[in-house]
Amino acid sequence: MTSPRRVLIAGGGTAGWLTAAYLARVLGHGKPTCPQITLIESPEIGTIGVGEGSFATIRTTLQTLGLDEETFLREATATFKQGIRFADWEKKDSWYFHPFDPPYPVEGAGLLPYWLLQDEATRLPFAQAVALQKKVAETQRAPKRLYENRFGGALNYAYHFDAGKFAKLLSRHAISMGVTHLQGRINDVKLAQDGSIAGVVTDSHGELNADLYVDCTGFAAVLIGKALGSPYKSVRKQLLTDRAIACQVPYARPDAPIESYTVSTGHEAGWTWDIGLDVRRGVGYVYSSDHTSDERAEEVLRNYVGPTATDFSTRVIRFDTGYREQQWIKNCVAIGLSGGFFEPLEATGIMLIEVAIGMLTEYFPHAGPIDANATIFNRLMTLRNEKLVNFLKLHYCISKRPESFWRENCDPATIPDELNELLAMWQHRMPSRFDVLDDIDTFAYFNYQYILYGMNFATDLSAQRDSHPKIAEAKAIFDKVALIGDQAARDLPTHRALIDQVYNHGYAEPPAQRFMSVKR
């Protein structure tokens, strides 16, 4: 086909507007070769809007869009996220931290073998022993200083944000780059003789035609599902949750500390998320309707929130975890919930949108046959989704909790074959970079390590003890990590202080630049 001159995005929200802004920016808005991009959304259809967390890749995405970090923080009322604190997942009264920072860099096998060979009764938690971010986050410090580079800093980080405000920021930015915004409902989809989409019929703009259609209509999947019939592959047998109940909880006082990590707490039939924004927390309970009722789920959520639970309303969101193996058919690409949905355990929702739009721009059909691009796109997205099922399942299947929900999650029949094989191998060797594929796996091998050893998975390295003789050197590095962590916890500003400063005044100039400005 010739290069698409018209791109129609069906649906707004984070998926639609992030796609619109990204395509406009990367394909060269304002230049003759950039296609005309139109987004149509219905004001009557709300968004899911519970995805208030992100993965560290969002910083690169925002930079690609040309958005300033200060503008994003203010307008999306965003805060910093340094990882996830998992409480009561292994068992009640247990917890571990999954930081964004990788373990402290060491040549060879790294620090993990020396940690595993230490006395279990006296060694530090894995994340604390090998990375300084746990100490920084748990002392409510920010991941950067006021004067450090935009989108950079001492530690790796992502954001928590208001999903609705983020979508509005993206819409304004996309429109400023020439994206046409239409409001209306799609009532029908017309197909051409070859099975591609010929046009969409709307209630207020008649028939709209394009060369490439992007389905961002969420669970409705109006184009990819209803019109083109792409089948949905449920993974409910592996990932058992199918409902979420969400609410917003205001802080007791305006200067309340803001946690710079998501708190994920295990419960009898699922888990709660707890995300700190500037003036409120976003809290929700993800659960399995096979193991509890909606009424009991709301009771669990209100008990978790505590005394203020009488002051908010909740809403139940039903979902079927899974994905479409064909997310690109003919001239239609699905991005966001129309392509698949995974519970928001590791901020996978927006991250999968980022992956999809990045691949779409790479495989954008500027010329030549479109089907070849679609085949590669579908294969890579399917592989990524399969790996993601493994990673999410790992959080559940090594739990020691006694409730039926957790016991069923640990049943080998619910564990993907590949993950079962890896777990068997990891009993006798550490997870390595060869267990994951960088261009397919969303998460790195050390992310698997943080979960496994945060939940006290047993890897027996006794037969390999002689392969790791640098015990004294490793101890010195463990001590160094602890020392740097203590220093960072003292020197970095509190999370609340940094957020308030950026909201009200912006970042400061680095000390050298301030000196040079005065000198001039």
Which of 81, 135, 387, 393 is labelled catalytic?
81
Report d(CA 123, CA 424) in Å as an integer.
24
21-70 pLDDT tens trace: 999 999 999 888 899 999 999 988 766 655 589 999 999 999 999 999 99
How much is the pLDDT for 519?
A: 38
What is the number of structural domains in the chain?
1
What integer best gives the mean pLDDT of the chain? Answer: 93
pLDDT tier for residue 520 given thresholds of 50, 70 and 90? very low
Q: Is residue 72 part of a domain?
A: no
415-441 pLDDT tens trace: 999 999 999 999 999 999 899 887 788
* In 82-240, beta strands by DSSP E: 83-87, 95-99, 158-160, 180-183, 186-191, 197-202, 207-208, 212-215, 232-234
Report d(CA 448, CA 442) in Å as an integer.
11
How much is the pLDDT for 312?
A: 76
How much is the pLDDT for 307?
A: 84
The residues pairing with 270 across neighbouring beta strands, listed in sequence order, are 267, 287
Report d(CA 189, CA 166) in Å as an integer.
29
Q: Is residue 498 part of a domain?
A: no
In which element (H, E) is residue 250 found?
Answer: strand 243-250
Q: Is residue 218 part of a domain?
A: yes
Q: Report percent pLDDT > 90 for the chain.
A: 83
How much is the pLDDT for 438?
A: 74
Q: Is residue 364 part of a domain?
A: yes
120-150 pLDDT tens trace: 999 999 999 999 999 999 999 999 999 987 8
Strands 36-41 and 180-183: parallel
Work out the number of other CB atoms within 10 angstroms of the CB of residue 475. 12
The residues pairing with 276 across neighbouring beta strands, listed in sequence order, are 281
How much is the pLDDT for 513?
A: 52
DSSP 372-388: HHHHHHHHHHHHHHHHH
Contact at 8 Å (CB) between 231 and 300? Answer: no
Report d(CA 343, CA 322) in Å as an integer.
10
Backbone dihedral angles phi then psi of residue 77, each to the nearest 5 degrees:
40, 55
Give the burial class of 221: count Cβ atoms within 10 A of its Cβ; 0-12 exposed, 13-18 middle, 19 or more buried: buried
Q: Is residue 203 part of a domain?
A: yes
Mean pLDDT of 385-391: 97
| CA 95 from centroid of its chain's CA atoms | 21
Nearest alpha-carbon partner for 260 in 503, 495, 499, 507: 495
Q: Is residue 466 part of a domain?
A: no
How much is the pLDDT for 109?
A: 67
CATH number at 220 reads 3.50.50.60
Mean pLDDT of 198-223: 97
Report d(CA 141, CA 495) in Å as an integer.
5
How much is the pLDDT for 3?
A: 66
How much is the pLDDT for 73?
A: 97
Measure the N-to-C terminal CA separation of the chain; round to a whole number of Å. 57
pLDDT tier for residue 512 given thresholds of 50, 70 and 90? low
DSSP 23-36: HHHHTTTTSTTSPE
How much is the pLDDT for 2?
A: 62
The residues pairing with 8 across neighbouring beta strands, listed in sequence order, are 38, 213
Q: Is residue 92 flagged as an active site residue?
A: no
Mean pLDDT of 463-469: 89
pLDDT tier for residue 344 given thresholds of 50, 70 and 90? confident
Work out the number of other CB atoms within 10 angstroms of the CB of residue 300. 19
Q: Is residue 127 part of a domain?
A: no
* Alpha-carbon distances of 181 from 36, 38, 171, 443, rounded to whole Å: 11, 6, 8, 35
Task: Look up the domain containing 216 and give its range.
Answer: 6-52+162-236+324-385
Q: Is residue 186 part of a domain?
A: yes
Report d(CA 470, CA 316) in Å as an integer.
53
